[in-house]
A and B are shown apart, each in its own frame.
Chain A
């Protein structure tokens, strides 16, 4: 199935989790936050939260600012 991670299309296995999406991006598991379709997913749920086809996933971290 395809999903959108930070605006780019990725192919993931059906039933993929938030952790699979992080791996697809090569993102670390600390210092990042994840939202799926506009909802923040708590870190504790990353392994269990299943992604739906065409889900829009945002992976954010701290950058220079302010």
Chain B
């Protein structure tokens, strides 16, 4: 079996193509089991005011498990807010990685493309390795890549919906035109959708809710790990062309006596 190339985001080599989120887990013990079962090497966190009760618990957990921390700018609605949050994250976590999220409204949680591109340009200039959560829009993806982002991370469907990949053709177009890694981020509901993202040629999948809110998060995390590996292998193997009519897979029958 050929060994797979590592995922490279800017200067960071990431040993797993399944990037996890930590949001939605009932407690840190459930989260720990899920992260271990997922095999992830990179996991998102949000930046919020420190709370005396929880302290730096999530961070301590990720460090103990040897998982690299990916701070996000969740909750930010403008480029200015996102840039400020990214700078705080860099100070707190001593990483140049940032998952850039600039959300337009609470109902859809869709990215605001204008603020997103503005924030991406500022953060690239400031030396960040910028991983933008973006719409499944090939034009915006191209502009984000042009701005110097280290990856583009199009959504499959809105955050937390579990509706899977609503426009696979857009994802395929983004994959086709993009030289930096493409990470399918948001909307995954179950393992087949994670495999589909990889079969479409995405370089990685980022998901949280599908695992953390599953009936059995640890088991679903394991399923996602297998799905990402299977989809990656299938993409690399080259699927057969689709045909209209059947093609026999056994030799023609022998002539009768």
Contact residues of A with B, CB < 8 Å?
6-7, 25-28, 30-35, 38, 40-43, 58-66
Encode contact with A along B24-46: 1 for CB under 8 Å, 0 otherwise. Answer: 11000001000000000000111
Task: Give bound CA distance, A40 to B45, whole Å.
Answer: 19
Whether A40 contacts B46 in the complex (CB less than 8 A), given A31-B59, A61-B55, comes out as no
The answer to the question of B249 belonging to the interface, with a C-beta cut-off of 8 Å to chain A, is no
Stretch at the interface among B10-18, B82-90, B227-235: B82-90
Contact, CB under 8 Å: A64 / B56:
no
Give 13 CB contacts A-B under 8 Å. A25-B52, A32-B92, A33-B87, A38-B84, A40-B91, A41-B91, A60-B47, A61-B92, A62-B89, A62-B92, A63-B58, A64-B22, A66-B21
- A25-B50, A64-B22 known, 11 other contacts, Cβ within 8 Å: A33-B87, A59-B50, A60-B48, A62-B47, A64-B31, A65-B21, A66-B46, A66-B72, A66-B74, A66-B99, A66-B101
Task: Give bound CA distance, A66 to B88, whole Å.
Answer: 17
Chain B residues positioned under 8 Å from A65 (CB to CB)? 21-23, 44-46, 48, 72, 74
- The B interface is mostly helix, strand or loop, or mixed, namely mixed
Number of A-B contacts (CB under 8 A): 100
Contact, CB under 8 Å: B47 / A40:
no
Whether A62 contacts B84 in the complex (CB less than 8 A), given A28-B56, A31-B93, comes out as no
Q: How far is the CB of B252 from chain A (nearest CB, A)?
A: 56
Contact, CB under 8 Å: B88 / A60:
yes
> CB within 8 A of B50: which of A27, A41, A42, A64?
A27
Q: How far is the CB of A20 from chain B (nearest CB, A)?
A: 16
**Chain B: CB-nearest residue to A6:** B49
The answer to the question of B138 belonging to the interface, with a C-beta cut-off of 8 Å to chain A, is no
Chain B residues positioned under 8 Å from A32 (CB to CB)? 50, 56, 92
Whether A33 contacts B44 in the complex (CB less than 8 A), given A6-B50, A59-B50, A62-B69, comes out as no
Contact, CB under 8 Å: A33 / B92:
yes
Task: Give bound CA distance, A65 to B57, whole Å.
Answer: 13
